[in-house]
Amino acid sequence: MLTTSEILKKVRELEIKSKRLTRHIFTGEYHSAFKGRGMSFREVREYAPGDDIRFIDWNVSARFGHPFSKLFEEERELTVMLLVDVSASSLFGTVHASKKEIITEICAVLAFSAINNNDKVGVIFFSDKVERYIPPKKGREHALFIVREMLTSSPKQKGTNLSDAIRFLNNSIKQKSIVFVLSDFIDEKFEESLKVAGKKHDITGIKVYDKMDMQLPAVGLLEVADAETGTVQWVDTSDYLVRNNYQQHFLSATENCKTAFLRAGCDLLHIRTDEDYVKVLKKFFIGRNRPV
């Protein structure tokens, strides 16, 4: 358990790092990736060369005998929601950091990116139930509060239920929002709720995993425990078939997760705890920088 002084020090470190990344690496890219995704109808005017034919108002055009286009304007502010998995498996990590530590850093970067662009940001912490809801607000103090809660959150439950968290999001946030789901996705029953939410919100999953989630080292007999269920068993890691089955299970679960997001029309990123998440986020932001 971190002391108060250690928490304050860590919060300050994350603020400095996040602001530096926001200012020097993600400058303009967050804005380009998401601004303009929230559009509201303004008016109809006569079609002009270069107008997007997708926005032709066919009813008005038929009434007047020549084409008219719908005009939209960018909504002045967006709402960013972070759905954060705080289940017991997030505490696992064998190389650079635990999954929770990486998720916390990514959340800090996303929160300060939102605040820097005058957007609101909120958080839903979830395990196998919704543990805490922080309504979206603006401002540096709110971002710092979120980071403190990320560092000190102590979930009551150990399991993972992503569907409940997504349903809570849909019921709590009425306007279209930018949503990031940060988890290791050790849960297979969320596709239907994701489909429903994906029709309303702009959702991106960020799967954070450790290399040992994917591959066991050949070190002989290991006593392993499932962090979420508490099940303990002995595993012979010197057996190639055991290691191969373990890896295939991870790859199969990963593929199922990809399919769920694809079918819901949502993006999914993969970040390993010993890899540079900055490069992954930057590539994603740049890739999203395209016309609506």
Please count the other Cβ atoms lying within 10 Å of the Cβ belonging to residue 95: 12
Q: Is 251 in the same domain as 144?
A: yes
Q: Are residues 134 and 252 in the same domain?
A: yes
52 & 168 share domain: no
Same domain as 278, residue 218: yes
For 119-164, how does the pLDDT look when each residue is reduced to its tens digit (9 = 90+)? Answer: 899 999 999 999 999 999 999 999 999 999 988 888 888 889 999 9
Q: Total structural domains in the chain?
A: 2
Whether 57 and 116 share a structural domain: no
Give the mean pLDDT of the chain.
Answer: 87
Condensed to tens digits (0 to 9), the pLDDT of residues 229-258 reads: 888 999 999 999 999 999 999 999 999 999
Q: What angle do CA 197, 203, 204 make, to 5 degrees?
A: 145
Q: How far apart are CA 133 and CA 172, in angstroms?
A: 9
- Percent of the chain scoring above 90 in pLDDT: 50
pTM of this structure: 0.81
* Alpha carbons 109 and 114: distance in angstroms, whole number: 9
Q: Quickly tell me which residue has 């200012």 as its tokens.
A: 23
pLDDT, tens digit, 9 for 90 and up, residues 42-72: 678 888 887 778 788 898 899 899 898 887 6
